[in-house]
């Protein structure tokens, strides 16, 4: 269920995207919302590619397009990139984020992925698996769980 206002916003975003040739050309001859389930590091993972073709593309909306670089780190998009590339058999060089901000300008950004970003995601996924193995799989007594660190 959409309100008229929400529908109008969605249509404006769509029109802005398709009128931006560099963005719209990236999704030509592609499949959309492609699901995948496979093992990674010995564990099952699932993903759904927004766009799968020559490139593996994740579409994002944001409040401020220029702040996406910081959001990508804050929300661990590097982990998503690592998982998706492995599940879909794509190189990080073929992974892109297409970002459109929800402000009246609907600024669009195309963000490529660096090798460092990809390997940062790999490290985070490895760490998450270790946490899973230590605390969930091995039924760690969470009553004794404590975080210690130095700032």
pLDDT, residue 134, reads: 84
In the predicted model, residues of the chain with pLDDT beneath 50 are none
- 27 secondary structure, DSSP code: T
Cα angle: 88, vertex 94, 99; to 5 degrees:
100
Please report the pLDDT score of residue 144 as a whole number: 74
Long-range pairs, 115-121, Cβ under 8 A, ≥24:
117/72, 117/78, 117/81, 117/92, 118/78, 118/81, 118/82, 118/85, 118/92, 119/82, 120/78, 121/76, 121/77, 121/78, 121/79, 121/80, 121/81, 121/82, 121/83
What pLDDT is attached to residue 146?
83
What pTM was estimated for this model as a whole?
0.88
Domains in the chain, start-ordered, CATH in brackets? 4-144 (3.90.320.10)
Taking only the tens place, the pLDDT of each residue in 117-126 is 999 999 999 9
What confidence score (pLDDT) does residue 136 get?
A: 78
Residue given tokens 């998982």 in the structure block: 83
Quote the CA–CA distance of 77 and 90 in Å, as a whole number.
Answer: 16
Q: Are 101 and 61 in contact (CB under 8 A)?
A: yes
Say how many C-beta atoms besides its own lie within 10 A of residue 143's C-beta: 6
Q: How far apart are CA 135 and CA 141, in angstroms?
A: 8
């Amino acid at each position: 269920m959409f309100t008229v206002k929400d529908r109008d916003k969605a249509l404006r975003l769509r029109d802005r995207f398709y009128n931006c040739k560099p963005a719209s050309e990236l999704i030509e001859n592609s499949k959309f919302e492609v699901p995948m389930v496979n093992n990674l590091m010995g564990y099952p993972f699932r993903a759904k590619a927004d766009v799968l073709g020559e490139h593996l593309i994740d579409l994002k909306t944001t409040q401020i397009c220029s702040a996406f670089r910081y959001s990508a780190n804050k929300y661990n998009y590097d982990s998503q990139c690592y998982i998706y590339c492995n599940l879909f058999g794509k190189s990080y060089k073929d992974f892109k984020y297409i970002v459109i901000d929800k402000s009246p300008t609907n600024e669009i950004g195309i963000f490529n992925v660096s090798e460092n970003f990809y390997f940062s995601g790999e490290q985070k996924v490895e760490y998450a698996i270790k946490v899973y193995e230590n605390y969930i799989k091995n039924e760690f007594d969470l009553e004794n769980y404590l975080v210690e660190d130095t700032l």
